[in-house]
Chain A
């Protein structure tokens, strides 16, 4: 009993020291709040895979009621907005080339005749700047645009069409996908980074000789260093979810307790990973470099940016080893689909084991000696 209470006293001592140092370190302190804020705003507003109001130019050689209706109907899709007029197809091409517009619509003089002829001729041509793939695919869809000249009866039904129904996020708002993903990204970034320098900093600044000459045990040191960052992680989680709701109306469909619990497990997993890096790195700079090795695949392979299912098998295998991949599944499940514990338990178990594994490794790797 006595050993446990003195052990707790030492853990508290480390915690108090860490918090004192954190308070002094303005830059780190600013990162705690500024990173969630900045990332949320930047990603939330800029990652937008749904394209609207692409500027296009029109060259209308038909100049008939038919062509005018075509232009209006194309704009009614809201995908494009006609911003410029061009006199001839060459001018149209130059505008696309120079980036003045993203596409050019050319309506030939016999457009209406083509429409009513039976040989399937195209009625107009859309010259698309293909350099942005997301935009290009949105514009390509315009090729199959259901155009009915003079038609009030727009509601035609082609039996051959496939009717698509979108479950969860029916409006295809990318923020709904991005904000939960950001929770994972920001927690990975800050948690791993903070702890990656935590131990190596003591070594670099010369405090290690003092620290290991005290009765503090390795496990006490590690746990004492983790606890303040767990609190920081929870603060960041609150900021992200609250702002996500306030700015992007991202609701939480599932259980709050499950969400908070999962975040906590994920925070621990990241802190454990950071501690391992800290015992490997020769100095703080080295720790940051190692951190980049973890962070890049976490962004690119975890499913945050690109769909996991679309990745080659090797990339998927690597992704499975990253805590972020598992957290992506958990958090999108809970926030967007109201996933239940049964649905996320394997990913949660992975994160929990990951934490136990990394913490053990960090404790084993850390030597309370100078040689």
Chain B
């Protein structure tokens, strides 16, 4: 059960002189929901496309479900459900027609096709939308349809590229429910996101920045191993303090959250310096690390997010 479903080693992709993905290595284990996070343009989608055989790596090795990509990409495609970042179903066809097309392409017989489509429509609450054209539907509805289409063929591996963008919080919660159901049923999911609450839910995380993997591991371990401490400053109007604190030596990042400032520092020894830099009426306390802190500290160099 611990064999990696996706194994990537030294993966590099160059577009001319621009290196989109640089020496990436990662493993995705069976039955897990693996989060893939990073700022926009950090190379997540390019990495995913190379995993699906849609792009040829400049160098490096990709193995998906034991098959090497891109050599065996055609075979891999029969076992992978891929949900693209940009909606890619046919907008001038209905939900059912789109799903029927995908079933036919995967060689489903008539009976199995009808049954499976009904099953998926039911599962994702799409029955009322089934015979309507996809084009005019809302972003959230389209995402649900795309997810339904991706799992139509009951793939062992699901690769979902920003499945919850343009989705309202309730639908988002619902979709994550589906993800865990699918993992429970034995599927493996690779999900990209830049929402921290979503990243927090994953079994494991890979964080990418500027084409490189900057953090990789289980969520708890990443938090534990973060070489930083988070201090919270509160007790009044904190906005004018942001600048003063961020110029101090040893401060990695400063972020105002409502009426408090979260200060990411190398260690707690800086507390005194901060106390001297701000009026005494403010209080400083050490707080637990969140996954956002992991993300910020991993991606803060030249981050484009």
Q: Which residues of A contact B (CB under 8 A)?
A: 6, 9-10, 12-14, 16-17, 20-21, 24-25, 205-217, 368-371
Contact = CB atoms under 8 A, between A and B. Distances in A.
Contacts of A212: 54
A24 B93 contact: yes
B211 to A, nearest CB: 15
Given A21-B93, A205-B91, A209-B54, A370 B107 contact: no
B196 to A, nearest CB: 27
Given A369-B54, A369-B56, A215 B105 contact: yes
A216 B92 contact: no
A212 B54 CA distance: 7
Nearest to B133: A24
B104 A21 contact: no
A303 B15 CA distance: 48
B49 interface: yes
Contact of A17 (B54, B80, B93): B93
B92 A16 contact: no
B84 interface: yes
Contact of A370 (B55, B90, B93): B55
Contacts of A368: 54
A6 B75 CA distance: 14
Interface in B84-118: 84, 86-93, 97, 100-102, 104-107
A289 B68 CA distance: 41
A24 B15 CA distance: 38
A369 B55 contact: yes
B86 A16 contact: no
With a 10 A CB-CB cut-off, give which of A16, A213, A370 has the most chain B CB atoms.
Answer: A213
A10 B87 contact: no
B74 interface: yes
Contact of B84 (A9, A17, A24, A210): A210
A9 B90 CA distance: 19
Given A20-B97, A25-B92, A10 B104 contact: yes
A284 to B, nearest CB: 14
B158 to A, nearest CB: 12
B52 interface: yes
B92 A371 contact: no
A16 B99 CA distance: 12
Contacts of B104: 9-10, 12-13, 16
22 contacts: A10-B107, A14-B105, A17-B101, A20-B93, A21-B92, A21-B93, A24-B133, A207-B88, A208-B88, A209-B84, A209-B88, A210-B82, A210-B88, A213-B52, A213-B54, A213-B77, A213-B82, A213-B84, A215-B74, A215-B78, A370-B54, A371-B13
Nearest to A22: B92
A12 B100 CA distance: 12
A211 B101 CA distance: 10
B113 to A, nearest CB: 10
Given A9-B107, A371-B55, A207 B15 contact: no
Interface in B37-68: 49, 52-56
A211 to B, nearest CB: 8
Contacts of B56: 369, 371
Nearest to A214: B105
Given A20-B93, A213-B77, A206 B88 contact: yes
Query: In this complex, which of B52, B55, B84, B90 has the most chain A Cβ atoms within 10 angstroms of its Cβ?
Result: B90
Given A9-B107, A10-B104, A13-B101, 9 more contacts: A6-B107, A9-B104, A10-B105, A16-B104, A207-B88, A210-B89, A213-B52, A215-B105, A371-B54
